[in-house]
Structures are given as structure tokens and as C-alpha cells.
Amino acid sequence: MKEWARRFSLLLTGLLGIEMQPVMSFPRTLSRAMRQLWLGAWLCCWGALAWAQDGAPVRIGVLAYLGADAAVAEWTPVATQLQRALPGRTVELISMDHAALNDAAQSGRVDFIITNPGHYVELESRVGASRILTLQTGGTLPTSAWQAVGAAVVTLAGNPRIQRLADLRGQRVAVVGKEAFSGYQLVWRELAAEGIDPSRDLRQLLVVGLPMDRVLDAVASGAADAGFVRACMIESRPEWRQHFRVVSARPEAGFACATSTRVYPNWPIATLRHTDAALARQVTLALLQMQAGDSPITWAVPADYQAVHELQRELKIGPYANLGVPTLTALAQRYWPWLAGLLGLIALGGIYTLHVERQVQARTADLRQAARERDELEGRLRESREQAEHMARLSVLGELSGTLAHELNQPLAAIGNYAHSLIRRIDNQRLTPDAAREAASEMAGQAERAAGVLSRIRAFAKKRVAQRQAVDPVTLVHEAVALFRGMQVHAPPVDVVGELPVGTLLTVDALQIQQVLLNLLKNGMDATRQLTVERQPLTVSLRHAGGGVHIGVRDRGEPLTPEQQSGLFEPFFTTKADGMGLGLSICRSIAEAHGGRLDATPAADGPGLCFTLTLPHDDRIHPRDHLHSA
């Protein structure tokens, strides 16, 4: 409000073009009307300032350790006294916990604070709180301003296990919070003197929060074996005196309650940096007028809080929290035996490191030798695998070679027929150039057919090192089907269906993939050989899904049992009377070597089995938008 009045004065200065001066020294250069206007504005400005100061509320933040309602009831006499002493001002009591009171004091939402001594010392260093009076209570439990606050460790009256503070080791203890002065910090100091660290040596530190009644509730319910409360709290109610007992009560001169700790100065009322000095003086005088006969609350001059500073310095909390971070010198003085041992360990570690280095060099040589032997073994295994694949191809070729004579006999018979026809025409002198050309063309075509059959069989049976290259999966499937049908006397019909994006390529060993497809087609033919003609056709499907190409070979044979289904790809497992049980096992290993897989599932649209060979397509080739039908 003072700032508002100052700004109003500056506004008048700007409007009138003169400098504001004391009321008794009017500018002589002004006319009588201007002097009257200047005086009226000056009186209005200071009148508004006085009205603003008189009408502003006096806000007092109170630590509500027993809850908001209890705090209002306890400090109402203070509000009543100030209301009488400050006519025209409204006195507001605002009950808060520790965190809320910290925030309110720092943000300027309260003008005065009433809190416990420990909290006050923290606010003194944090926000500039300054005590103006110290509480001095009377009534049935009178206390002095200098010896008024203690803490009581309470347990159930019938609990024989806790008689001393040392008995708290390994027990469950309920507290308001670690920031509570009489609810934790006072007992913490006494436990530290006993060599007990509450955060380490207690079985459980149960934080229940405000109000402090919750600590007694936790002890009464069995959730805690003991609790820390403010001294005189047990004596304030008869039912609490019957159910609870103060542990290790110590006599304190001038202190009427049972306490487990030393006693400290009473609660202060303190101003903050933004508190108006005149208002602080009025509040101080008003509270000093409260008499013991008229009010349960009286006030004395500010007490000495050095004992509170000593407590927080010992515990390294509040303004002394930085003492908890030791310096290098302090650490060296405190832990020099450990440092000497550490240096010795470092020296031993250096010697051990040299020893280990020599062993590492020896082990490295052994590992290099083992790596060379492993590479040689892998080479032999690779050769063995290629040999097994070659033998598998020869096995398939051997099973199909019985029909080779039939396939070659047809073109040879045709060639022979045309040759005999030419001889007869020559003998009968009826050979014309057109007839000779026709016979020669047919003979050449049949010869090429026979040569094609032999070329495919020779390529399939040839032993060589696996070579991968980009191939068209559609062409690969059609060549495998042609090879299969060319090697069978009564080959079943094989339909190739499906769609793949144009440009789809597979980076594979074409011969190995043809070996897989021939094996699957041969198995499908064997499964339907004894069935009706309608169930003998085979279907080869191609589709693109999930970043790969799926090639399916589907037959319409009899369904397999679950045991047969689960053992299809196991080595030496077969359902054929003359089978070796290696074909499908080798086919799966070929698929996995190409980064794909081979699966077998019952057909979804009828009887039979569907083998699906999945191979990753070449990502370097991007399919076009239109599709190509197989």
C-alpha cells in the first residue's frame, strides 16, 4: 500500500508539473486555487494509505501439530487479543503443516508465524524469520518460556519390553515425520547419544503425519511398539494417561510433565522480512498485555534458542545440514586406517595385475589356437553338411530315376519313327524336300527334349559349393515342377497359383531350394499315390507377406496323427516303409541356413497337409505397384 501511495504521488507530480513537498511548505509560485488542489490531492493520497493499512488483514500462520481444529481452538485467545488491540483490522489464524507453512512464509502469504523452536530456527536461516516474543503457558501444566518443549517416547502401559531408550533398538516406532521437532528430532538426539541410528537400528520407522494423535493411534492398534510425541500430550487427557506410559522419564527442574528428552525453549511468534515494522510493534505490545489470570496463553520476551541450534548442529539438520557433507581432510582424519588399508590393497592389486597380465597373454595364445581349431572344425562340419545335402539329392534322384527311361524313351522313339519314315520314303522314291524338312525338325525337337531332361538331372545331381544369387521365385518354382514332372511316369497334376509383386527376388542357392521343393512334391505324390484321382493333384502357391515370400506345397493325403505331426522334421523319423527319415530334416536345415523356415500344418480347406517354405526377399529390390500372376 505504501508503494501504491508513492506511485499516486508521482502521478500527481506529473499531472501538476510540480514536485511534492511537505504539507507545511507550499510552493509560493502557485496560485491559491492550485495550492488548494495540491493540498487536497496530498491528503487523499495519505488518507488512502492509512485506510489501506487499517483495513488489511493480519495473517498469522500456525503449525497445526494436533490438526487444524485443535490449532484454531488453542490460538483463538491470541486472535481475540489482537482483534481488540487492532481495531479496524481483521486477524486471520491459518493452520498449516510444516511444508505449507514454509511455502506461505517464503511467498509472503502470512505476516507472522507461530511454530515450534526447531522449525523456527530453520525459517530463521531460510526466509529471515525473527522472533518477537516467546510463548509462556499457564493453567494446570504451567511452563516457562525457557524450559517448555520436550518429547515423550510412549508405549502401551502394559508393554514390559520397552523400559529404556536403548530398548527401542529393533522395535517399530511411529512418528509424525522426520521434520517434526518434538515428534522426532528431540528423541533422535537422545538416541544418538545411546549409539542408536533411527534410520538404521529400528525395525521400522512408521511416518503417520499430522495430527500427532495418529502416533498414539498407531501404538494403541499394535501397528507400532512405541511412538514419539510432544511432552505434556499424555498428561492433557485422562484416558491417555491410563493407556500409555512414558519411557525413560527424566526429571527436569521447572518442568511439570514427564519427558524422555531434554527440554527446550517454548514456541515463538516471529515476523518475516516483509512484515510491517509498525504492525510488528503493535502486535508485540498487544500480546505482552495478555495476563495469566485472563488467558491460558501469556508471552514473554524472546528466549535464547541456542539449545535448539546445538541440537540441529549435532544432528546436522536445518541450517547445519551442510555439516553432513564431510571435507576430504575430515574424511582422511576419520578414516585414515581404512585409507592405509586401501593403499595397501592398491599395491597388492598392482602386483596381482602384473601376474594376471602374464596369465592373460598365455591364455590369449591358447584362445587363438582354440579359435584356429574351431575354424577348422567348422570347415569340416560345413563340408559334411554339403556332403549330406548332396547325398540327399542323390537319394531323391535315385527314387525318381526309375522313370528316367520312360521320359527318354518317348523322344528316342519319335526320332526312330521319323528316321524309318525317311528310309521308306527314299526306298519308294517318294521323299520330297518338305517331308525331309518336317522329319528333320521333329527329330531335332525330340533330341532337344531329351537333352533338356538330361541337363536338368545332371545339374541337380552335380556336387558343388553352395552359391547364392538373386533369382525370380516364380521361375524357380516352375523349373522345379518341370524337373519333377519330367522324372515321373505318372506324375500327378501340379498347379502353380498365387501372385507376387513384379520384381520380387530371392537371394538363395537355387539348387538347394529346388531340392527342397522336389522333396516336398515327392512326399505329396507318395501321400496320394493310393488315393482316388480326384485327390492326387498337388498345388504350389506363392504369396508375399510379412517381409518374405511364402511357397506352399499342398497335398490331399490322409491326415497325420499328432505324434506323426510333431516328429515330421526330426532326423530318421519317417512314415514310409522304405524311407530313411532325413529328407525333411535336411530341407528344414536348408531353409534355416537361408534365414527362413519350413513349417507343416493341416490343410484348412480339406484333407491333406500343407508345407510352407518361407524365405526373406531381397530388400534391395523394390516391387512395383502392379502384380504378376504365376
Residue 52 has pLDDT above 50, yes or no: no
551-609: pLDDT as tens digits: 999 998 888 888 877 777 776 666 665 555 567 777 888 888 888 999 988 888 888 88
Among residues 508, 525, 497, which one has the least CA distance to residue 583? Answer: 525
Instruction: Return the pLDDT at 500.
Output: 85
User: Cell 521400522 identifies what position?
Assistant: 204
Measured distance CA(192)–CA(460) in Å, rounded: 89
Among residues 133, 121, 119, 112, which one has the least CA distance to residue 305? Answer: 121
DSSP structure string for 213-246? HHHHHHHHHTS-SEEEEETTTGGG-HHHHHHEEE
Instruction: Return the pLDDT at 14.
Output: 43
| Weakest-pLDDT range from 89-93, 369-373, 535-539, 558-562 | 558-562
Which residues does residue 602 pair with via DSSP β-bridges, in sequence order? 609
Among residues 516, 525, 491, 488, which one has the least CA distance to residue 583? Answer: 516
Residue 547 — pLDDT band, cuts 50, 70, 90? confident
Residue 453 — pLDDT band, cuts 50, 70, 90? low
Contacts of 259 (CB under 8 A, 6+ apart): 150, 151, 152, 231, 246, 249, 250, 252
Per the document, the length of the chain is: 630
Instruction: Return the pLDDT at 427.
Output: 85
By DSSP bridging, strand 548-554 and strand 172-175 are unpaired
Instruction: Return the pLDDT at 13.
Output: 43
92 vs 138 pLDDT, higher one: 92
DSSP classification of residue 624: P
Q: How far apart are the first and last CA of the chain?
A: 91
Instruction: Return the pLDDT at 622.
Output: 45
Instruction: Return the pLDDT at 272.
Output: 95
Share of the chain above pLDDT 70, in %: 76
| Mutual angle of helices 583-593 and 510-528, in 10-degree steps | 150
Contacts of 462 (CB under 8 A, 6+ apart): none
DSSP structure string for 361-429? HHHHHHHHHHHHHHHHHHHHHHHHHHHHHHHHHHHHHHHHGGGHHHHHHHHHHHHHHHHHHHHHHHHTT
485-539: pLDDT as tens digits: 766 657 788 989 988 888 888 888 887 888 788 888 888 888 888 888 888 899 9
107-154: pLDDT as tens digits: 999 999 999 999 999 999 999 999 999 998 654 444 555 567 899 999
Residue 464 — pLDDT band, cuts 50, 70, 90? low
Instruction: Return the pLDDT at 461.
Output: 58
Q: Mean pLDDT across the stretch 337-342? A: 86
| Weakest-pLDDT range from 14-28, 475-489, 576-590 | 14-28
Residue 23 — pLDDT band, cuts 50, 70, 90? very low
| Weakest-pLDDT range from 51-65, 435-449, 610-624 | 610-624
| Most confident listed range (26-30, 44-48, 220-224) | 220-224
Contacts of 237 (CB under 8 A, 6+ apart): none
Measured distance CA(63)–CA(119) in Å, rounded: 9
CB-based contacts of 434-443 (< 8 A; 24+ apart in sequence): 442/414, 442/418, 443/414, 443/415, 443/418, 443/419
| Global pTM value | 0.45
DSSP, collapsed to helix, strand or coil, labels residue 479 as helix
Measured distance CA(461)–CA(389) in Å, rounded: 11
Residue 6 has pLDDT above 70, yes or no: no
15 vs 407 pLDDT, higher one: 407
Instruction: Return the pLDDT at 49.
Output: 43
| Weakest-pLDDT range from 329-333, 346-350, 401-405, 560-564 | 401-405
Residue 28 has pLDDT above 50, yes or no: no
| Weakest-pLDDT range from 12-21, 186-195, 527-536, 558-567 | 12-21
538 φ/ψ angles, rounded to the nearest 5 degrees: -110, 155
Residue 266 has pLDDT above 50, yes or no: yes
Contacts of 416 (CB under 8 A, 6+ apart): none
Measured distance CA(240)–CA(217) in Å, rounded: 11
